[in-house]
């Protein structure tokens, strides 16, 4: 299985990721087969809030998002957001559905990783935002 990473932008504390699946096949997927149970989210929108950076000026957080189908009922999709901290400093992170009060907040220790499920629906695509302190 290939792993995809989302892009990191300088000067961002909150960003939104959205993927549009079309017939031309421009959406990202975990494997080249059509029966994949994982759809990676991409195409971020940029904001101007500052972010926490490491000593080299790179963002500490690496974010990946995917819609993962369930084994028992493949029509149900878990909206999973994975956040990895590449800095020694602990960071408080909040992941929300975009323009929603449905959020998951967690404390991410230095060099740690958290996979959080925002929700489960029949929709493959989702939008979310991340804030950090």
The 10s digit of each residue's pLDDT in 39-95 is 666 534 444 567 899 999 999 999 999 999 999 999 999 999 999 999 999 999 999
Q: Any idea what DSSP says for residue 99?
A: T
What is the model's pLDDT at position 24?
25
Task: Compute the distance between CA of residue 116 and CA of residue 93 in angstroms, rounded to an integer.
Answer: 11
* Dihedral pair phi/psi, residue 114, rounded to 5°: -130, 130
Residue 23 has pLDDT above 60, yes or no: no
What is the model's pLDDT at position 108?
97
Which CATH number applies to 16-132? 2.60.40
Domain-by-domain residue ranges, the chain? Answer: 16-132
Task: Compute the distance between CA of residue 5 and CA of residue 83 in angstroms, rounded to an integer.
Answer: 10
Q: Any idea what DSSP says for residue 11?
A: T
Task: Compute the distance between CA of residue 96 and CA of residue 89 in angstroms, rounded to an integer.
Answer: 22
pTM of the model: 0.67
* Dihedral pair phi/psi, residue 53, rounded to 5°: -120, 160
What is the model's pLDDT at position 40?
67
């Amino acid at each position: 299985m290939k792993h995809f990473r989302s892009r990191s932008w300088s000067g961002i504390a909150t960003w939104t990721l959205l993927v549009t699946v079309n017939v031309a096949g421009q959406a990202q997927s975990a494997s080249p087969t059509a029966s994949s149970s994982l759809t990676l989210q991409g195409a971020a929108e940029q904001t101007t809030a500052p972010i926490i950076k490491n000593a080299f000026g790179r963002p500490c957080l690496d974010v990946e998002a995917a819609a993962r189908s369930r084994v028992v009922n493949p029509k149900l999709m878990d909206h999973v957001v994975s956040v990895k901290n590449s800095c020694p400093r602990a960071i408080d992170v909040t992941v929300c559905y975009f323009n929603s009060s449905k959020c998951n907040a967690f404390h991410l220790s230095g060099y740690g990783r958290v996979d959080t499920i925002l929700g489960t629906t029949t929709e493959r695509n989702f939008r979310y935002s991340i804030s950090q302190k």
